[in-house]
Structure 1
Amino acid sequence: MLQEANYEGAFRASTHPCALLDTHLLVIDANPAYLALVGQSLPQIRGRALRDVLSAGALRCEPGRLAGLLASCERALAERMPDTSVGDGFSHVPIFDRHGRVETLLQTLDKHFIPSGKTLAGVAHELNNLLQVIGGNLQLLMRSLSADDSTRRRLSQAGSAVDAAADLLRDVRQGVAQARAIAQPVCPADECGPLSSLRILFVEDDPTLRMLAGEVMTELGHEVCLSESAEEALEQLSRQPFDVLLTDVGLAGMSGLDLVREVRRQGQRLTLVIASGSLVDIDHEGLEGVRTMVKPYDIHQVRTLLDTIQAGA
């Protein structure tokens, strides 16, 4: 279908989130509106099962709604007819090959398919990552530049603005107005000496944030191994020992929470830390004793965390 220029242009330009699925419900293609809704890029979702795409990342479709959507796909494939649910905001249209066999499904989602709170949570997650990148780079600049007082003051003001934005975003994510955390001043480079080296496995699917946080922890004197997924992290843990596992909660595929559960199930002896844009109820998740860190975190929070771990506290 999309090989024809007219269809291709309409598919890309549509303001409705649209995706093309194969008969096994794997994502073949998606337009910009769909990618914006799920909060992932095309390379991240192409070839992945629809169930996984809609239950992970920024979208996190509710189980009941996801089940209804998948059932709609199956009906469209079995009955070889469009299946539409206006109330739930999705439709599936079978597309036939030249022999009359169902070749693909065109999925269309309403832009309001996900409740506003879910969409807001996804946006907040992305903004948290951006603030983390900006704040971390500002702090690295403060430590590495031989800047004059004027430049140092401007960098400090920019860092304070990032901290204030992070506090505001945290209030939005939690849904209540809370007391703002007082921004910590950036310490001069000669006051932030390296710690004894820890072997750290850092898991984060945002490539820029992954690289930046790795640089920060390396700057603090630690050995850091980077991983973009929980599955990759488990492979690395099977090959070499680590002192600390620091993982984001929202990962493509297996979540950070499930990663920590699996590491505990395997009986591996290392300190487990979960990072998230909002507070994680560790007791509720059945992960008593796991440390947490709220994003966006800065170099001081990372240093304090690692100092505490190194001291065995």
Structure 2
Amino acid sequence: MSTFDANDSNDPSSGSSIPFVTLGSLIPAAPAGFKSGFIAIIGRPNVGKSTLMNRLVGQKIAITSPVAQTTRNRLQGILTLPTAQIIFVDTPGIHKPQHELGVVLVRNAQNAIGSVDLVLFVVDGSVPAGGGDRYIANLLNQASVPVVLGINKIDQQPTETSELDQSYQQLAAVHGWTVAKFSALTGDGLEELQTCLIDRLEAGPYYYPPDLITDQPERFIIGELIREQILALTREEVPHSVAVIIDRVEEDPEITRILATIYVERDSQKGILIGKQGSMMRTIGTNARQQIQKLLMGKVYLELFVKVQPKWRQSRLQLSELGYRVEE
């Protein structure tokens, strides 16, 4: 095992922040006409599901990356408006699994379909509908849950979009789905999407306090922020083989001390993560610490360990120990 600290600066990161949880919050009674419900965000890898949820709830709670299969856990983001509360369920991208981890991720995404009030099926509007989209469409067709087809990345569409739009319009028409077009990156069309989703929810209560934006504990978010930097900074062979466990969080009025272990499958991956004279690990740690300080709104000391655990993605037991299990 190797260890590095990521604290080459004592200055907390600047920028506005919103607490993820306000302790002691109460769940109020919903006013007349109030709507609420759970909406699963479903789609292929890399269509912008996590970016969309972050935009909708107004703060970063899901990590994003160009690397496919970035999202590994079902993550709930909560949007509370004067007339509605929407609980968005961000899911792993549905893909053909190559290992036991992939099997767990896809099963969790599929399980989410049957446990929500509405599905937002997100597709990449910069390319025509493909086999992966049609596969997911068939899965959704087997579930008794309403669906809105969300065409994302309209900012990346060429001026002439008739062919692209037609491929998705045809897909929606076959299943009788409503279509919404938007850009999660720029925010264009998101107000219309929000209205479209609320219109399809039933009257209901507050499920969470109005100031809560995620149900995940801070430890989970901290681990994801560390993994996000690994995705951003390391070579292709490393990101899919990485898991992060938060071993200890110690808080006092002046600083929060965090110890975390990064698991990889091979010694070569460990070497890439560490880098020459520890340079890569210092960069990962420094960047992650800056993001964690925004989350916690205070100074953070971050120490990272690296450990090799061979073939952990193929072992159901090791997956469970690292926090990856089938969610019912």
For normalisation by structure 2, the TM-score amounts to 0.29
Q: Kindly indicate which of the two structures has a greater share of residues assigned to helix.
A: 1
Higher RCO, Cα 8 Å, sep 6+: 2
